Structure 1
């Protein structure tokens, strides 16, 4: 991780100026992990174990692959047709962003219940200072609008949703062939974690999430944006071009009926066999486009920001050529 932070210091660049634009950033979490290691005078993994995992009472959390094999760990499946992922984990340097830690859903629920108890674990051990969870839920930045189902703001490490008039918080995570959704409904005292290891993972998680939130919290999830019968008109020249970030390049071709977007993975993403596909998108208004065909069971939604300077899918990918 120290090598990654040193590389970031000399080589990373800002996508936009401070406060101008939200873009999810793994490197930011790695910088936070490096701060924890420096301030606590131990490795990030040692700090996680001594300050969180052990006082939480978690029984099925692992920080390394050699720890994960002590449990019944599921392997990810990628590609079409599905096949076992050629690698289980991403580089250790990206650990604070979620590349290597793993946990059973029951321990993610245990973690959420500790937050709901204002930082106190099930056995009465104080894990976090009082008021920490409330501060984590305080909006820090408003996100570009995608749809009612999507994150509206970001707190301290938490995604913030406004679903059916209720605050719902949590975080999503993925590794090659692995997808996890973790949600907390503070007003209902509800914590849930759903995991899938391949196939139509997004659609499966969506269905489970909707059922549990409805039956246990009385929350009706907003509808997802679907391809319209009559797409909204738009100016094709506004969006056509190449949009590139270190993990992926998006080649966007446009005509009067929609966009054709090809994602070209780089580096590790290419090694895992993900991406490298071309998909058709149609305009639904407000510079938003929805995929005509489902991806992992759901129609993907993207937006273009600042007159086509960025392609946005929770990460803002800058335009590099017209």
Structure 2
């Protein structure tokens, strides 16, 4: 039996409409649009507006602010994957003379470079980018507020610098590189650096009265890679599907997993709130699930794109007001509504097409000292080594093609797992970063560092 997950149930759709209706009404947003993605495609679009009879649809542009940073990060990771840079490279190696050259590319991506949060006055979001024609105008006389690599400190100038890095290595304007390498391959035809009709106007809503004031829509110039883009819920739904599954024309699923992995040290308040930042993507923990994406704001606009990889559900929320509904809270609720009302149906179990007998021999229980572990074979030649107690260090391991594996998560990320055999070819133990895993606790027949007492295991009263 096959089950279609393409269409949402009527009750689910009504719950989604109710949630955005409450958000628009209580947040006093002139308009709010939203979309839900499941299984790699948009399954719902909705909108609420203060204008009777004119609801914006999924093709109306809104400004998306700092979601632009994720697009810029994708361009930088493409350069890394092509071997044109290393994330550990200092900026000075590729873009000399900025005054921020000691920061590494990874630190800039993860907001741990130590750079200031904003550019020098005047307020860059409400003034023309022509006032900041050079990187020096964006970074100011004292770019750093903190030592590089010490802490997370969100930096808009940091992403301006990354945009300049893209331009330097590609020898083309940032927006042209973005269009050719990301927007066109993914079919994001309504994502642009300047508004194209139909688009929403940005508004400030008075905090103590139901009246509005139009906000300016400035061209950010040099700051564009940090927040310039306009987009639609239809385009961002496609982008969300890309962030979840990858697209070999742009970035692999493996690189996107790397982008989602927290990469900066956070303050206690951030950790307590479940917030972390990877390489151009925010991670938050909400309602028992991990949500990855980015929020955005500029005067007149609020935006959020967030996805639950485990549920394969994403949501996009856009509003045209300076303050009002909290876009992440609304988007997280949309994900929760769908994930809980219509849980993901797992793929049918299928046996592996083939298995190497030498690897199958390794499956089953292993012991690190007296700690019990199990090794399982999973898809794509990978193995999982995890503690049987449920507590402790575990990881998936990717095959290296030479009979060894490399850890992908946690304590064992990057560590090598290998099989150590006796002269007769039988397995003696597993070596994981020098730790020895044996078939029995402190197996006296295996090469256990420090040896095993020849009298073996004994009771408490034994002499």
Question: Which TM-score band applies after superposition, normalised by the shorter structure?
Answer: 0.5 to 0.7
- Count of aligned positions: 208
Shift of residue 105 of structure 1? 1.4
* Per-residue CA distance 1:72-91 (angstroms, 9 max, x = gap): 21111115254343411352
1:181 counterpart residue number: 304
TM-score with structure 1 setting the length: 0.58
Corresponding residue number in structure 2 for 1:162: 285
Tell me which residue corresponds to 1:60. 190
In 2, distance between residues paired with 1:39 and 1:137? 24
Aligned residue runs from structure 1 range 147-158, under 5 A: 150=273, 152-158=275-281
Please state whether the residue corresponding to 1:128 is helix, strand or coil. Answer: coil
**CA–CA distance in 1 between the matches of 2:143 and 2:254?**
34
Greater strand percent: which structure?
Answer: 1
Q: Which residue of 2 aligns with 1:74?
A: 200
Alignment of 1:208-219 (within 5 A): 208-218=330-340
2:344 is aligned to none
Aligned to 1:22: 152
Structure 1 residues 228-247: aligned runs within 5 Å? none
**1:199–1:116 Cα change, 3 Å:** closer
C-alpha distance 148-154 of structure 1, shift in aligned 2 (>3 A): closer
Structure 2: give runs of 5+ residues left out of the alignment.
1-128, 342-463
Secondary structure of the 2:158 match is helix
Which of structures 1 and 2 has the bigger CA Rg? 2
CA distance in 2, matches of 1:206, 1:184: 11
Deviation of the 1:146 alpha carbon? 3.5
Query: Over the residues paired in the alignment, what is the CA RMSD in angstroms?
Result: 2.6
1:110 aligns with 2:233: no
Return closer, same or farther for 1:91/1:130 CA change in 2, 3 Å cut-off.
same
Change (3 A) 1:7 1:199: closer
Q: 1:85–1:176: 8 Å Cα contact kept in structure 2?
A: no
Measure, in 2, the Cα distance between the counterparts of 1:105 and 1:50: 21
Alignment of 1:252-263 (within 5 A): none
Shift of 1:109: 1.3
Q: Tell me: CA distance 1:171–1:9, structure 2 relative to 1, closer, same or farther (3 Å).
A: closer
Quick one: structure 1 residues 30 and 200, their matched pair in 2 at CA, closer, same or farther if it must change by over 3 Å?
closer
CA shift in 2, pair 1:183/1:158, >3 Å: same
Deviation at 1:19, TM superposition (A): 2.6
Is the 1:89–1:175 Cα contact (8 Å) retained in structure 2?
no
Change (3 A) 1:39 1:115: same
- Equivalent residue of 1:201, what SS? coil
Whole-Å separation in 2 of the counterparts to 1:44 and 1:115: 20
Q: 1:191 aligns with which of 305, 308, 314?
A: 314
Q: In structure 2, how many angstroms separate the alpha carbons of the residues matched to 1:199 and 1:129?
A: 35
**1:257-276 alignment to 2 at 5 Å?**
none
* C-alpha contact (below 8 Å) 2:160/2:225 kept by paired residues: yes
* SS class of match (2:250): coil
